[in-house]
Structure formats: structure tokens, C-alpha cells
Structure 1
Amino acid sequence: MNQNCNIPDHETDVEYLCTNEQCRDFRIFCFKCLQNEKHKTHIKDVQKIKDFGRQYINKSDEDLNFELEKNIDQIQRLYFTLKEELKFDCSISEEELNRLDLNQLNDLLCSKIKFRKEKQSLISMISKSAERMIETIYIGLQDFSQQYFDRPAKKVQLEMKTLKYELINSIKDEQINTFAFNSTNTLMIGGYDSSKIKVFEFKKGQLKMIQKLNFHKKSIYCQYFMKKSNEFLSGSCDKTISVCYLKDDQKWDIKQRLEGHQGGINCLLMNKNEDLLISSSDDMLIKFWVKDNDLWECSQTIGGHSSFVSCISLNETENQLASCSKDNQILIHQYDKDAKFWFEFQIIQINQWGRRLCFINDQIFVFQPEMRQQMHIYELDKVNNNFIKTKEVLVGVGSERKKNRGCFWFFPQQYVQQQQILINKNRCCVNVIEKDQNNEFATIQSIDFQTKVIFGKMTDNGEYLITWDDRSGAIQIRQYLD
């Protein structure tokens, strides 16, 4: 290792390292440090870097892993032995039973009663011990997950990777709950907590406001910018959806107001043809809207959830819709082409509710449980044609400085096909997650805003990530860097 010692007057390359757990000195040092009696009290733990590197830095804790494997193996052997023993239940054939006298029959009955009692007692004792073990393992896993992004080793790994999204612009503004971009990413709309909408010109990460709109009475919760026409939609806490269009004088105006929901509009999405609009609401309902003479009409309303519907997502083929709610359920709805009707296809019971889910394609969707360090991956089981949870991906949660409630709503998950990355807001972090060709997911960047109040959107080409958070009080624009 051709690096100078960090003590200025030594001016010589480092040669040694120290592995003593109680050592408080810098662990990488030179021969002069050794001459100055640093690490003198634990000299047996000092080794030359060239002898030690391959053994330690790139080597897992094999002894600890072996000890864990040995314990697991022993438990498994004992479990199967016990299982075989418990199968014995004084079994006797009917022919043998008929040959028994009264005393033998009495002994057999007593034996069976005693065996059953001992079996129940043993299973009860094992169950209590297993619960304690499960709790110990669970607490350990939680601690590992919580510290994952703060560990020095992880920090080194992250620093070695090139940062994907780098902050290039910051503009002070009041709270913006939602963003949306047009098809060319030259226009951006922001939906404000104060109920107004602003239209911005967007160019190379710079914003210029060109119009302010007042089409709602309460906070804007969600927006959608159409790709095939100069129109956008906004959903509000005032229970309405505004359809806005660009007039000939290049000013935006309201074209239609959609009413029907009895609660705030939490999510808006459209199919690729933009002739189907789907909305979800605090009223626990999902509505499907279709165009008739260039105006939208509600064609179907479906329920199924017993709490507000926080997020909805269409699969790639657009014949399945996933929805999540605070009721600890994920619902999969399917479209019947012949009947032209959406129906409930699958109910997935979950242990921890979440606000965010997103279809990746027809076979996979992802789900973020509320404030957990793991994002769940659901894949289509081709045998029973249902979605099942197959794996979990570690994601950042961040560190909170501004205390507030929950994980905060909005900022839906977004999958960018062009870059094969998923944006997943979780607690105080915005996670950039990469998907490879084998459908494996890995978090490659976690941006810690140190507050849960974060709202944002990525441009459809994945080049820019735009956010607003209450700690900075600013629109922050980040750009993708290879």
C-alpha cells in the first residue's frame, strides 16, 4: 500500500495494521509509529498489511458463520428426531385390541392419556423457547438493518460507487405535494399544498414559472401530464379532479371538473392510449373514467378496501391493477375484455400496510411497507397464477431531524424503463434502486433528506429527479450522472 502515514512528520509509507477490538489509535500506521510505542499494549494484534489483507479485508467471518451453521444443524437434527419420536402414539391394531383383557386395556388407556399430556407439555415448552429465539433473531435483524447504511464498511462501498443523482439546483418555494412533466420534459407542473398549481418551463435543470392556476379549493394531492395532448389533470383534497388544457393563446385553463369521489384524490394514472383514467381516494374507492365526446365519464367504481386507497398501479399489459391501503391488504384487480369490466382477482394479506407499490412488468410488482428497511418483491406464480412475495430488498430509511407523523403520503413509486431504475421514497430517504436482467434489485443510492416530508417525481427519461422537502423548504433538482 503506497500511502503515506497520516502523521505529517513521519513521511513514510504505512506498513502495519491493528485488529485489537479495544484499540483507539488509528489502525493503519507506519514503522515510526511502532517505534513510538503506539499499539505497544497489544502488539500481538499488529500485522503487516501485505500478510493480512487477503486474509481479513476480503474474507468473511468464517469462524462465526461456522458456529452459527453448527447451531442450526444441531437444532434441525434434534427437531427431526423429536418429530419421529412424537409420531409414536401407542398405536395398536383392532385385532390386537380385541385380544387385550380389562387390565391391559386400562394400562393402554392410561398410557395414551399420559403420553398426550406429556406431548402437550413438551410442545408448549418448545413453543415458548422458539418464540424467544424468534424474537432474539428478529431484534438482531432489525438492528443490522437499522445500522446498515450507517456502517463504515457500507459507507466505503457506497463511496466507491459513482453517485447516480447529483444536486444541481435548489429553489426556495412553499410546500409542493406533487410534480408532473410533459412528454418532452420541457414543462413541469407543481401541485401546491395551498391549492394552487404552477406551470414551469423546464430546461436543463432550470425552472421558469410561466403561469399560476387556481382551479381547486384545497390542497393538490396528485397530478398527471398527458403525453398525447396538451392537457394535464390534478386531483385535490377538495374531492375533485380538474382536467386542464392549453388554449390557443398559450394559456392554461380548466376544461372539465370530475366529481364523484367522496374523499380526497390520492392517485391518478392513465393507460398508454390515454383513453382510460383511474383514480383512487380517501373514500376507499377506485373509479374508472372513459372518454365520451372528448369529455370524461365514470364507467365503473370498485371497492374492496376498508381504508383510504393510497396507491394504484397498472401492469405492463394494462389488464391488471394493484392497489394498497391502510387495511393491510394489497388487491389485484383484473379486466375482463368481453364484459368490459374490472373485477377483484386476488387479495394479498400483509403484516404491515404501506403507501407505495408499483408494477415493474406483468410478472413483478414491488411494495414498500410503512417505514420498514425492506422493500418487498412480488412475482407471479405461474402454477396458480397468483402473486406471491419472493424476496426483500434492503432500502434506506434515513435519519429524522424534524419530527412529524408517519412516513407521509404522496410521492408514489416510479419505475423508469429506460434506465431500469425504481424511485422509492421510504421514511426520510429517496432510494434509487436498480433492476438487472435477472430481475434482481439493488439499492444504488439513498438520499437522506432528514425529514419524512418529501415529495417528488422523476422525468420519464430518468435524467432528472425533482423533490421538495420541508427541511430545505426548496425544490431540489438532481441530475443523473453515469
Structure 2
Amino acid sequence: MFQTKMIELEEQLDCSKNHKQPIQMVILDKKLMREEHLLCSICLENFESDTKIIGFKKVLKMIQENQKNQVENIQRLIEFDVEMVEQFLNELHKLRSYFILLFDELLTNSQEWINSLNAIGQHNSNYSFFDELDKIIDGRIQNQFDQESIVNQITTLNNSLCSKINLQFSALKNQEIYSQCGSILINLNLNHHMKLIDNSIKQSSPCYAISFNQSGTLMVSAYNCDIKIWNFEQGKIGHTSTICCLQFSKLSNSFVSAGFDKSIRCWKQIKQNEWHSSLSYQLHTECIDCLLLNKSETQLVSGSRDKSIKIWKIDLVNNQLTYLYSLDKHTSSVWDLQLNSAEDTLVSCGNDKQIIIWKLNEMEKWQFGYVVIQSIQEVGSRLCFLNDDQFIWVTGNKVSKDCISTFELNNQQYQENLKKEVKLIQNSKDMEFNLFPIFKSKNKNLIIVKHKSYVYVIKVQKEGELKIITQLKYESNCILGALTDDGRYLVTWDNIGQKFTLYELLII
């Protein structure tokens, strides 16, 4: 336990008049400077003021108690890192022992190899006087050299020792032996903002969508043309092509899925391990890349590569959809859709480099509003409302400005606020995929933004200012993820690692 220590000695504290007497009282007045707060017995004889004063010993006790609490908090924070570094040190000792043993074996086998080669040489250098005499008497060619036999002996030896040493080198290069050290270093590198909980769940087939229910007790993930439902037995379902959209209900254990087969399905939990699929609703003519439910979960909005946005009436109780109408102002694929909290504004972006605002009319029907004024003419991959008057947009080109732009409502139109632009890590090698939605946690004022090969954890500060708290680096730009409703857990899947990684967010 760290010990609190006051820099000044109590007996050295003196009043502003330098009476050199013990301090008796303290004046609680913000206007005073350091020693002016302190009163000794001489000061008190002439002291007159309506300002609140308090006993020095009481103030000292209050400060000490406050410092004690502070030290306990410091101790708690430091202990976490000390414990992690101690674990790392233990793992390093294990690795050191492992490597010493492995290198000793490699050195021994290599020396054995040299000794065996020399033994072959020595064996083939020995001769018998009488054997050589017989060769002379028989008239056989002298100095005949049987190269093939010696080469065969060397080759046999080399193959045997190569196989043995290659096995040892494979063990040396095996990444599994570094995994524990790697996990500990990741946790230390996340600076108390995130904690790696698990990264052992493999999924080799492509995963293009993940979603949580409201309580975070169920997670669904796309598994090619199937859906996995976690925390109970897997449920096999019937899309005929890859699924790239999953939207879990916030009001019931139901979800909606869509994907490359151009269809939408509703799913309803019947029993603990049984889920029932609706009919396949196929009115889009190309892959569906985004789904959006309103708060009351009575309306579903879908965006597709067929350039259209379709509005549906949804009934999750009866597990069915009813097509209402289509919005057709985009000239290329629609990548993302978002509603503001008042649900009177819908914003969409896509491959045509447009950001379009849709407004709800008096008939409760969506209609075209206007195209947002923007300085960056790039493909937009994702959107997110920070509040009714602000939303953010993420660039998506391969060669891109690589940034998050903020748009603010100005004279009934959203205009880009260049002062609030957030620079992301430059990357001109990868395209941006729109498969990882922006996730927002209201209670923690956090947003999770994936861009190319990074996942950013961003704090939303006053007036919509964005501050990057930490970032996760992946080897691929094909990353999927989901955040629980309470903002506590983040799950990701990436194409290179082909496994789910679960983090706990420690940000208050």
C-alpha cells in the first residue's frame, strides 16, 4: 500500500504574518492566497470577519482522509497494471525456460549432425591392406571412388536430421506459445479503457454481421448463409446466400436478417433453443446492405445495391413484413441508413457520394428532403446521429481523406463542420467495407467506429466534439463487430484471425 506523505511539515506551517506560532484555525475564503488562509493564536486575537473559519486539526483530518481515499484509488489502478506485468513476467520466465530447452536440443542435434557427417567421412576413409592388395592382384582400377554410395549415406543422414530440426523450428515459430503474453500486452496497451476477455472462439467461415439483444444475453452472428445464436445450441436457418445484415429487436427476442440473396427474413424465438423464420420477403433486386428499425419497432427500412431504400411495416409478434413504398433518389448502392432520436429525419449515404436527408411528412410518410452540402466528394460508408442536430459520416474510398466528418443543422440543412473533422490513420492500401455499423452508447457517451483496419473507441464530448480514446489494430480491413446496449462489451470478428474477440470497456 502506498503511503500518503505531506510535502510540508506541520510544524513548518506558518501564518502570513510569520508569527512562528502553531496554526489554530483556517479561513475558507477563495480570494486568499496560501498562507493567508492560516491563523495562529496571535492572529486570532485581532481577527474579525464573517468568513467561515474551521479548526486546523479538523482541516488536516479532512485532507488526510481525502488523500487516503485518493491513494486507495491510485493503488487500485496501479495494482491492475502490476498484476498484469507480474503475469507477463511469469509467462516470460516460462518462455525463457521453453526456449532454453528448445535451443539446447537444437544445438545438440546440430552437433550430432556434424559428428555423424564426420563419422561417414571417417568410415569411408578406412581401408584394409589385404582388400587393397586383392584389387591390385586382380588388376581392378586403382583409386576407384564410390561417390554414389557416400552421397546416399549423407542424404539419408541429412533427411533424418532435417526432419527432426524442422519440427523443433516449427515449435519455435508456433504462435500459440506467445498468445498469453500477447493478451497481457494488449490489456496493458489499452490504458485502462478496455480489457481483453476472450479471443478463443473460432469461426472460419466469413462473418458479415453481429447483433445483440437488449439485455446482452443473446448474440447472433452471420455464418455465411447460416446464423449462429450464442448462449444456447446453434440454430440453422434458411438464407440461400451470405448474410450481411442482422438487426436484433430491443423489445423482444426477435431479429431481422438480410443479405446477398436479396431477401429479408424475420426471426422469432419459440422455445429456448428454437427460432421460427418468417417468409422470405424479396422485393430488392440486389444485395441488401443495411437494415434499420424504428424505436417502436413498427417500421423497417432497408437499403440495397439496387439503389433503392424500401419502407416496410413490421410485425415482430406475428413475424411478418408488409411492403409500403420505395425511396429512389440514390444513383448507386445504398451503404447506410440512420434515424435521428425524434424519428422525423432519415439520412442515407452510399456509393454515389451523396448524403441524402429524408423528412417525415404530415401523412407519416418519408419523402425526399435535400442533398447535404459537403466538401469531401467521396463514397460514404457509415453514418450516426450524435443528436437531432448533428450526425457524423465516415469516408470509404481506398484513396481517401480517411476521416470522420461532422454535419450540423444550419437553416434547415445539414452542412459540414470542418472544425470538428476527426483525422483517422491514413491507409491507401485498403478499401473501406460498410459491414461494421457505428455503435453508440448513450449512457457512456461513446461511439465505436470501424475504419479500414482499425476500430476506434471515441468519446462524445460537449457540443459534439469527438475524442479518440483508444484504437484496435487488425491485420485485415474485413472486420465485423457489435456493442451491447449498455456499452459494456464489444465483440469483433476479423477475416485474418477468424475468431471472435470479446472486450470489456472500462470507460466511465
Give the aligned residue type for 2:219: M
**Using a 3 Å threshold, how does the CA distance of structure 1 residues 450 and 397 change in structure 2: closer, same or farther?**
farther
Normalising by structure 1, what TM-score? Answer: 0.61
Distance 1:218 1:451 in 2: 23
Give the aligned residue type for 2:225: S
Distance 2:292 2:447 in 1: 17
Q: Quote how far apart the aligned CAs of 1:347 are.
A: 0.3
**Using a 3 Å threshold, how does the CA distance of structure 1 residues 248 and 428 change in structure 2: closer, same or farther?**
closer
Task: Say if 2:235 and 2:274, in contact at 8 Å, map to a contact too.
Answer: no
Partner of 2:115: none
Deviations 1:423-470 (A, max 9, x none): 111111001111113321111111111321111111111111111111
Task: Say if 2:233 and 2:273, in contact at 8 Å, map to a contact too.
Answer: no
Q: Quote how far apart the aligned CAs of 1:249 are.
A: 6.3
Distance 1:244 1:481 in 2: 33
Distance 2:408 2:252 in 1: 34
**Using a 3 Å threshold, how does the CA distance of structure 1 residues 457 and 160 change in structure 2: closer, same or farther?**
closer
Task: Say if 1:396 and 1:446, in contact at 8 Å, map to a contact too.
Answer: no
Distance 2:190 2:207 in 1: 31
Distance 2:264 2:498 in 1: 27
Give the CA RMSD over aligned residues.
2.2
Q: Quote how far apart the aligned CAs of 1:163 are.
A: 3.7
Task: Say if 2:405 and 2:422, in contact at 8 Å, map to a contact too.
Answer: no
**Using a 3 Å threshold, how does the CA distance of structure 1 residues 220 and 444 change in structure 2: closer, same or farther?**
same
Partner of 1:331: 356
Partner of 1:434: 459
Q: Quote how far apart the aligned CAs of 1:259 are.
A: 1.6
Distance 2:245 2:192 in 1: 29
Alignment match of 1:390 (pick from 417, 427, 433): 417
Distance 1:395 1:429 in 2: 13
After superposition, where does 1:273-352 map in structure 2 within 5 Å? 273-291=296-314, 294=318, 295-336=320-361, 338-348=362-372, 349=374, 350-352=376-378
Partner of 2:209: 178
The residue matched to 1:367 in structure 2 has which SS? strand
Is the aligned partner of 1:416 residue 2:441?
Answer: yes
Task: Say if 2:436 and 2:480, in contact at 8 Å, map to a contact too.
Answer: yes
Task: Say if 1:411 and 1:454, in contact at 8 Å, map to a contact too.
Answer: yes
Structure 1 runs (4+) greater than 6 angstroms displaced: none
Normalising by structure 2, what TM-score? Answer: 0.58
Partner of 2:22: none
Partner of 1:238: 261
**Using a 3 Å threshold, how does the CA distance of structure 1 residues 418 and 390 change in structure 2: closer, same or farther?**
same
Structure 1: gaps of 5 or more residues: 1-158, 202-208
Identity %: 29
Partner of 2:403: 374
Structure 2: gaps of 5 or more residues: 1-187
Task: Say if 1:165 and 1:465, in contact at 8 Å, map to a contact too.
Answer: no
Q: Quote how far apart the aligned CAs of 1:340 are.
A: 2.5
Q: Quote how far apart the aligned CAs of 1:254 are.
A: 0.5
Distance 1:455 1:480 in 2: 17
The residue matched to 1:387 in structure 2 has which SS? strand
After superposition, where does 1:164-243 map in structure 2 within 5 Å? 164-170=193-199, 171-174=201-204, 175-192=206-223, 194-201=224-231, 209-243=232-266
Is the aligned partner of 1:364 residue 2:390?
Answer: yes
Q: Is the deviation greater in 252-261 or in 311-320?
A: 252-261
Distance 2:192 2:422 in 1: 18
Distance 1:266 1:163 in 2: 35
How many corresponding residue pairs? 311
